[in-house]
């Protein structure tokens, strides 16, 4: 019995700091499973343990008092973390109209609470929403369609431009709305077919995705993946990127052929495509969901291989471009490509002459969020990025938007870059631009 008591005390001493750290970081993306009921359970358990220790007379010794105080810390730390979050949220929601209208269009946010995202949409604090499997879990397709329609209705009523509504429907292992939408095979399954069959099947996959997404009100698909399939097995700690299963092929020509046809099918259905993840993560073994990653390949080699599909598909479509969180060391060794001016403005805008929409990968990923996220936000805007994605954990929007607010108030944002980006965003989604242009041509021809 004495052994069990000592073992129990040791476990309590070990658990107390862990629980305290979890309480102090209750809003961290890694602790999403603890939110709501988990946080309540943690508080109740902490208080119960403190009371039990007091009832057992532990307060009469110095070590006992310290242990009791340790178990009193989690509720206080959690309350402080909640208060800090609410202050940040209040600051964002109370931003004046000019600030909201200037910065809001640059943010796309995932959400769990519809009333909360409805308020953000109405106030102009966001320019887009990202929907995924938890938005459709436990409800019908019609319910999600109604939510998206309601969001667009409040935008119209507020005199704001329509929201960009995005999702991840790549096919294969990434199909965040399938089911209930159709589960389409990965584009990689087409790589062994003859070129004509590759194009026909890929275009059909694009039409399937496009028809179903446009019927929901989704107007941008975060697909296709243009990273080249890695020739070697990736790091065993890569649980999320899984690019070996998502990439189309190792041959840039095959990737270009299949991706171009897929994008054509999407666009014909009225949904825009997003090419990802420039500058290419096929050569990188580290998972940027959690860690920093470097791409050390010379630019000349990348231009001749990895970047060929990006340039080819961009030249034949109206796609947006997603920039990943890997560091392109030959161009900018000091920061990830997603917020590097040398990469975005230097390569994409100046060298490639691409003036469509550029967006970041999810800023909640560890390669960004676990570092100076405010610096990343300011640098991304100043680099010419149009959309900053906050997908996995929508609650982080308040912190990330707060970074942009602080940057604006401190004069850190490049006014010229903001104006150029605003012009691109005002033109709307690339597919909408294309339709408007073709419509104008038809009117001229009729006249």
Q: Can 289 be counted among the known catalytic residues? A: yes
User: Closest Cα to residue 132, out of 389, 322, 382?
Assistant: 389
User: Closest Cα to residue 429, out of 270, 302, 250, 279?
Assistant: 270
- Give the whole-angstrom CA distance, residue 277 versus residue 266: 18
DSSP state, 99?
Answer: H
Q: Can 361 be counted among the known catalytic residues? A: yes
- Give the whole-angstrom CA distance, residue 168 versus residue 407: 30
Q: Secondary structure of 30-52 in the HEC alphabet?
A: HHHHHCCHHHHHHHHHHHHHHHH
Tell me whether residue 114 is exposed, middle or buried, using C-beta atoms within 10 angstroms of its C-beta: 0 to 12, 13 to 18, 19 or more: middle
- Give the whole-angstrom CA distance, residue 336 versus residue 294: 8
Token look-up 């935008």 returns 155
- Give the whole-angstrom CA distance, residue 324 versus residue 338: 5
In the sheet with 272-278, reading across from the earlier edge strand, the strands are 358-360, 320-323, 272-278, 220-221, 164-167, 128-130, 107-110, 388-390
- Give the whole-angstrom CA distance, residue 233 versus residue 378: 35
Q: Which of 306, 332, 361, 386 is catalytic?
A: 361
Q: Where are the beta strands (DSSP E) in 151-216?
A: 164-167, 169-171, 174-175
H runs (alpha helix) in 56-113: 62-93, 97-103
Token pair, residue 80, equals 């402080």
Q: Which of 106, 289, 318, 325 is catalytic?
A: 289
- Give the whole-angstrom CA distance, residue 312 versus residue 18: 51
Token look-up 């209208």 returns 101
**Within 13 A of 41's CA, how many CA atoms are on the CB side?**
6
User: Closest Cα to residue 277, out of 223, 330, 329?
Assistant: 223
Instruction: Show Cβ contacts of residue 313 under 8 Å, excluding neighbours closer than 6 positions.
Output: 226, 256, 259, 260, 263, 275, 319
Question: Euclidean distance between the first and final Cα of the chain, in Å?
Answer: 96
Q: Which positions are annotated as active-site residues? A: 289, 361
């Amino acid at each position: 019995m004495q052994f069990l008591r000592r073992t129990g005390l040791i476990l309590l001493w070990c658990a107390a700091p862990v629980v305290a750290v979890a309480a102090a970081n209750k809003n961290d993306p890694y602790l999403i499973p603890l939110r709501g009921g988990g946080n309540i359970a943690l508080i109740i358990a902490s208080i119960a343990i403190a009371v039990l220790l007091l009832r057992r007379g532990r307060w009469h010794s110095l070590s006992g008092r310290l242990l009791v105080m340790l178990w009193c810390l989690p509720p206080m730390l959690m309350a402080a973390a909640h208060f800090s979050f609410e202050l940040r949220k209040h600051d964002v929601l109370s931003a004046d109209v000019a600030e909201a209208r200037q910065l809001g269009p640059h943010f796309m946010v995932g959400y769990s609470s519809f009333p909360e995202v409805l308020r953000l949409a109405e106030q102009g604090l966001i320019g887009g929403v990202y929907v995924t499997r938890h938005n459709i879990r436990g409800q019908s397709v019609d319910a999600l369609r109604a939510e998206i329609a309601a969001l667009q209705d409040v935008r119209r009523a507020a005199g704001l431009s329509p929201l960009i509504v995005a999702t991840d429907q790549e096919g294969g292992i990434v199909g965040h709305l399938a089911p209930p939408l159709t589960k389409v095979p990965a584009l990689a399954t087409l790589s062994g077919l003859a070129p004509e069959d590759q194009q026909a099947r890929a275009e059909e996959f694009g039409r399937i995705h496009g028809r179903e997404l446009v019927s929901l009100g989704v107007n941008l698909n975060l697909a296709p993946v243009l990273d080249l399939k890695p020739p070697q097995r990736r790091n065993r700690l890569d649980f999320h990127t899984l690019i070996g299963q998502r990439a189309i092929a190792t041959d840039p020509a095959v990737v270009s052929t299949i991706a171009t046809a897929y994008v054509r099918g999407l666009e014909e259905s009225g949904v825009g495509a997003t090419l990802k993840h420039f500058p290419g993560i096929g050569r990188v073994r580290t998972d940027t969901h959690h860690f920093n990653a470097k791409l050390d390949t010379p630019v000349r080699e990348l231009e001749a291989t990895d970047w060929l599909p990006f340039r080819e598909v961009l030249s034949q479509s109206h796609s947006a471009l997603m920039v990943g969180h890997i560091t392109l060391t030959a161009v900018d060794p000091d920061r990830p490509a997603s917020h590097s001016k040398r990469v975005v403005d230097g390569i994409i805008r100046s060298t490639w002459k691409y003036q469509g929409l550029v967006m970041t990968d999810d800023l909640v990923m560890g390669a960004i969020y676990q570092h100076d996220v405010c610096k990343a936000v300011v640098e991304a805007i100043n680099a010419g990025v149009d959309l900053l994605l906050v997908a996995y954990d929508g609650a982080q929007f308040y912190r990330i938007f707060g970074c942009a607010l602080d940057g604006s108030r401190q004069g850190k944002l490049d006014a010229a870059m903001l104006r150029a980006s605003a012009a691109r965003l005002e033109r709307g989604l690339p597919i909408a631009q294309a339709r408007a242009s073709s419509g104008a041509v038809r009117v001229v021809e009729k006249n």
